[in-house]
Amino acid sequence: MNTAVTIAGVTFQNPVMTGSGTFGSGMEYSEFVDLNCLGAVVTKGVANVPWPGNPTPRVAEVYGGMLNAIGLQNPGIDHYLAEDLPKLKAAGAFVISNVAGHCDDDYAAVVEKLADSDADMLEINVSCPNVSAGGMSVGTDPVALANLMDRLRPMTDKPMIVKLTPNVTDITVPARAAVEHGADALSMINTLKGMRINIRTGKPIIANVTGGVSGPAVLPVGLAAVYRVRTALPEIPIIGLGGIDSGEKALEYLYAGANAVEVGAAALFDPVAPLRVARELDDLLDSRPELAAKLAAGQTWR
């Protein structure tokens, strides 16, 4: 069956992508996964300069998932353009470059360099602590998000996805701000803020104190976010993520109103999870031709 999906005018061969930060540059997994069999490879967040990330320990287990405060460690945009992106394109991958920054100038510097690159789409991660927004995530402030998008949108013709944080009262508010100021699509959700305590010391396990919770436990939160935003913004393409480790869970996101999905934390313990989910979802869509037809036409079930 044809499982192609259309998002922001771009056709993907299937609706399953990797989640940024869980699949590295993509090439690390190329010996396990045929990259051109995925809808897209969403690469690890890239900044204008190399970021060392947060101090260790920065990963902890939680019930139904994991807690991490990696801090978007990455080698910077110049290395990405010279090494990672060319190798991914040579391997036949459709590449979505995830963009990170600590202020509007950081984001702009990355987008400027990606504007004429071989990246197919950009995913703007607005969950980073933003120094120009008082240290809070720009994605929690619709005014700051609108200002950022006003800065970035004129810089490139590449389709631009905004990745939303769930750490807000009403996710439809930043979603609307992103769309009204130039986002071609939305992805949701990023990780939930959480922490663990070492009961022997009484101190947080993570050196950064708090981190992002991901994995199966966040599935209901991600589904609710997609459902709410789809209801509020019926026309915008949505990529759902959070807790997907099977074709069945991916299908839940499609029924909630997503056009496609990203497989994140599951790839950290099973490198072939994104491809497995794609195959399982393909089998499920075989018996749901009406849903597959809607996705191919750029529509959703809802």
Task: State the catalytic residues.
Answer: 128
Peptide bond into 86 cis (omega under 30): no
**C-alpha–C-alpha distance, residues 203 and 197, integer Å:** 6
Give the integer Cα–Cα distance in Å for 140 and 133: 10
Total residue length of the chain: 302
The owner of tokens 């990355």 is: 110
Which pair of structure tokens corresponds to residue 209? Answer: 């104190």
- Max intra-chain CA distance, the chain: 56
> What CA–CA distance (Å, rounded) separates 73 from 196?
21
Q: Return the H-helix or E-strand segment holding 11.
A: strand 10-12
In angstroms, the CA 116 to CA 112 distance is 8
The DSSP secondary structure of 22-53, one letter per residue, reads SSTTSGGGTTTS-GGGSSBEEPPPB-SS-B--
For residues 31 and 173, give the distance between their C-alpha atoms in angstroms, rounded to a whole number.
41
The answer to whether the CB of 22 falls within 8 A of the CB of 46 is: no
Contact (Cβ atoms closer than 8 angstroms) between residue 107 and residue 127: no
Q: Which of 93, 87, 125 is nearest to 106 (CA)?
A: 125
